[in-house]
């Protein structure tokens, strides 16, 4: 018997608590969550290959049967769900709502957002840590619009609202989920029409945490790419330990953003992202007072996302 298509999609936003949200949903008996986080099956394969080669290599996009097999164990639960943050990253990843709806016309969507300044900075740190970003943060954010586009939540939502009614997209913020996890979870479950009193036992759990100090690639990144290659992975056990340590020191250096640099980035982003948030407020009919950094709150006023482990 053919596997049933997913009908619930956590579409992002990246670095906004999607891992925690996914775990909360997965715990509910009425939801089957795809065992592969971020299958990215509805992304254009050519774009995915250039943007996230590892996910492209996994090949969940190669055939419908291959993708649907991820939901083989779902049984008869009301919701078969998956989470891929590239689904809300226009214009780099375009055409995704249309592809999802062609397979699952009645699909529902969940979109979690975070203070856009904090999200943009976190995005940069993520790319430094995992994707070899070598530029300083201001240069990267100024000249690579992708960092800013992912935080342009109104634009990301409009890509879906052109195809579905607003009542099929549930929006929430990381800050509200951290501050009131039980209440936010109940509200989400009520929207889905599943038992809102179920306790997933995960409230207060640490999220997808990035260490305060990470590594940044040195030079042109050639040695870093070699260290991350499959070939090196196969021979690594044969390389003497002192050479592995030397290679690590030559490939990457310790990295930590100073408070002064963060302040400069916040000033650079604030005006533009405040205007974009005004668009978001008009679109959703609500304000976002919980986004303290966006509105220039003092450090003591900020409800730090690091308390929840999202950095």
The predicted-structure confidence for 198-214, as pLDDT tens digits, reads as follows: 999 998 776 666 667 76
Asked if residue 48 has pLDDT above 70, the reply is yes
Where are the chain's structural domains? 8-210+257-294, 214-255
Reading the block at residue 133, the tokens are 């970003």
pTM of the model: 0.86
Ordered strands of the 169-173 beta sheet: 31-33, 79-83, 8-12, 108-113, 169-173
Q: Which residue carries 């997965």 as its tokens?
A: 26
User: What pLDDT is recorded for position 210?
Assistant: 65
Q: What share of the chain is helix, strand, coil (3-state, %, to 5)?
A: 50, 10, 40
Q: Kindly tell me the sign of the dihedral angle through the C-alpha atoms of 181, 276, 265, 208.
A: positive
Q: Which residues pair with 254 in a beta bridge?
A: 215
Tokens encoding 97: 């709502």
What's the token pair of residue 160? 């879906």
CATH of domain 8-210+257-294: 3.40.50.300
Does 225 score more than 70 pLDDT? Answer: no
Residue 297 pLDDT class (50, 70, 90 cuts): low
Residue 217: pLDDT over 90? no
218 has a pLDDT exceeding 80: no
25-39 pLDDT, tens per residue?
999 999 999 999 999
Strands (E), the chain: 8-12, 31-33, 79-83, 108-113, 169-173, 214-217, 252-255
Q: Contact at 8 Å (CB) between 154 and 148?
A: no
- What is the CB neighbour count within 10 angstroms for residue 127? 16
Yes or no: say if 225 and 217 are a contact pair by the CB < 8 Å rule: no
């Amino acid at each position: 018997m053919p596997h049933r298509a997913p009908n619930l999609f956590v579409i992002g936003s990246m670095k906004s608590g999607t891992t925690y949200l996914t775990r909360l949903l997965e715990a509910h008996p009425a939801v089957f969550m795809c065992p592969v986080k971020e299958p990215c099956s509805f992304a254009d394969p050519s774009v995915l290959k250039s943007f996230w080669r590892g996910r492209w290599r996994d090949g969940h996009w190669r055939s419908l049967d291959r993708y649907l097999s991820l939901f083989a164990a779902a049984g008869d639960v009301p919701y078969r769900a998956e989470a891929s943050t590239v689904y809300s990253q226009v214009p780099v990843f375009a055409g995704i709502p249309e592809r999802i709806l062609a397979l699952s016309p009645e699909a529902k969507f969940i979109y979690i957002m975070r203070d856009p300044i904090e999200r943009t900075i976190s995005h940069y740190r993520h790319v430094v840590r995992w994707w070899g970003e070598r530029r300083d943060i201001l240069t990267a954010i100024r000249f690579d619009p992708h960092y800013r586009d992912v935080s342009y939540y109104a634009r990301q939502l409009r890509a879906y609202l052109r195809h579905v009614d607003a009542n099929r997209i549930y929006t929430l913020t990381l800050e509200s989920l951290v501050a009131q996890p039980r209440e936010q979870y109940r509200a989400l479950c009520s929207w889905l029409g599943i038992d809102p009193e179920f306790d997933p036992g995960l409230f207060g759990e640490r999220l997808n945490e990035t260490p305060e100090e990470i590594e940044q690639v040195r030079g042109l990144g050639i040695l870093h790419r070699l260290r991350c290659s499959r070939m090196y992975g196969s021979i690594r056990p044969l390389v003497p330990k002192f050479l592995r340590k030397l290679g690590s020191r030559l490939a990457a250096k310790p990295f930590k953003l100073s408070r002064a640099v963060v302040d400069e980035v916040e000033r650079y982003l604030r005006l533009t992202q405040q205007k974009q948030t005004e668009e978001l407020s008009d679109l959703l009919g609500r304000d976002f007072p919980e986004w303290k950094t966006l509105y220039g709150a003092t450090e003591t006023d900020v409800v730090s996302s690091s308390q929840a482990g999202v950095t």
